[in-house]
Structure 1
Amino acid sequence: MHQYRVVKYSAEERAGTVPAWTAMSDIGRSFGGEVLTEVEYLATEGRYLAAVRRFAAVQGVTGLRVDGLEVHPESPWWQRVAEGDRLPLDEAIELARSILREEFVWCRLVGDGDFFVHFGYDYYLYIGAERSPEEAVREVRESGLHVDEFESPYLT
């Protein structure tokens, strides 16, 4: 299995030597003299969601199953999704958006075969794929995100 960590962070930000935003709630705050705007946040969020979609497409995944669901009554996903639900890819992408936005929901998303999407703290994303996703890796890197071979800490 091929496993990757997908992040927006530069090497300096990952090392903690340069400050970086980690959540939607950071909009309006300054990091290294730059204020995080809603436009910048949404563009970054869009690149993450496009990465999930691109990796899924390369693997032929059209839906993802909810695994390890944690959902709070304040979440827009409360009583909308349940453990084990299989979501069409577009709906799974919307769930991923809520996870990235910290909207009181978290889970792992699992596809057919050996495909997964895991969400870590501070805007870390982990993707596992059975077949080599070289094309997806290249495209995600070209979008401005960093993709490194890395085992997900959320494997069960």
Structure 2
Amino acid sequence: MYKYEITKYNPNLRDEKRMYLKKDWTSISDIGKSFENELLTTESYKKSEDSYIKAIIMSMEYLHIPFLSVNNILRSFSCERFVEMREDCELYSQDIIEMYNQVKDGDKLYIGQVDSFCRLLLREDIGSDIFYPRRMKIFIGYDYLMGVHTSKSMDALIPFIEQLNLFVEKY
């Protein structure tokens, strides 16, 4: 098993206990706040989120994985409350809202659906196991942390992921 952490956080800015030393945003709710004298805008947030999604899709393509299965789905809100809260937000397309309302345990997400589902995970609107049996498991947690476990080395893919302004640490 190969284990990678793929994040926006530069590992050189961590102390010996792996605590991140730079004040940085960690959630969609941080849009509009300043970090290190830089305002987190909707555009800069989305650019970072896009990088995570691209890294996931690149990993699936590299490993020849046609879909990801989802299980143990936990929603942060009722479907009705979610729609009410998100329908006027520019970051929530109709596809994302429909994914929130319709996805269920056991569903298979093909590449075209991975985008909407993983955005919900990154935004902490939903929690779930996301995997392809015996070949790939993705862990998306709080604070924009993402882990990827694979059955095959992705070392050749690391430079391409790093071009997305993400950092890859192997474990």
TM-score range, shorter chain: 0.7 to 0.9
SS in 1 for 2:102: coil
TM superposition score normalised by structure 1: 0.87
Percent identical among aligned pairs is 25
Equivalent residue number for residue 143 of structure 1: 164
In structure 2, runs of 5+ residues without a counterpart are: 83-96
Deviating beyond 6 angstroms after TM superposition, the runs of 4 or more aligned structure 1 residues are: none
Establish whether residue 42 from structure 1 lines up as the match of residue 64 from structure 2: no
Contact 1:51 1:136 in 2 (8 A): no
Equivalent residue number for residue 27 of structure 1: 31
- Work out the number of aligned pairs and report it: 149
TM superposition score normalised by structure 2: 0.80
For 1:129 and 1:78, locate their aligned partners in 2 and report how far apart those are by CA, in whole Å. 26
Equivalent residue number for residue 155 of structure 2: 134
SS in 2 for 1:9: coil
Amino acid at match of 1:130: S
Contact 2:121 2:141 in 1 (8 A): no
In our comparison, the structure showing a higher alpha carbon Rg is 2
Amino acid at match of 2:110: P
Amino acid at match of 1:5: E
Equivalent residue number for residue 106 of structure 2: 84
Per the TM alignment, residue 19 of structure 1 is displaced from its structure 2 partner at its CA by 0.2
For 1:21 and 1:78, locate their aligned partners in 2 and report how far apart those are by CA, in whole Å. 24
Contact 2:100 2:120 in 1 (8 A): no
Per the TM alignment, residue 112 of structure 1 is displaced from its structure 2 partner at its CA by 3.9
Per the TM alignment, residue 79 of structure 1 is displaced from its structure 2 partner at its CA by 4.3
Establish whether residue 68 from structure 1 lines up as the match of residue 56 from structure 2: no
| 1:101-126 residue CA offsets vs partner (Å, 9 max, x unmatched) | 222x1112111432111111100011
Equivalent residue number for residue 96 of structure 1: 118
Per the TM alignment, residue 70 of structure 1 is displaced from its structure 2 partner at its CA by 0.7
Per the TM alignment, residue 16 of structure 1 is displaced from its structure 2 partner at its CA by 3.1
Aligned-residue CA RMSD (Å): 1.7
Contact 2:124 2:142 in 1 (8 A): no
In structure 1, runs of 5+ residues without a counterpart are: 151-156
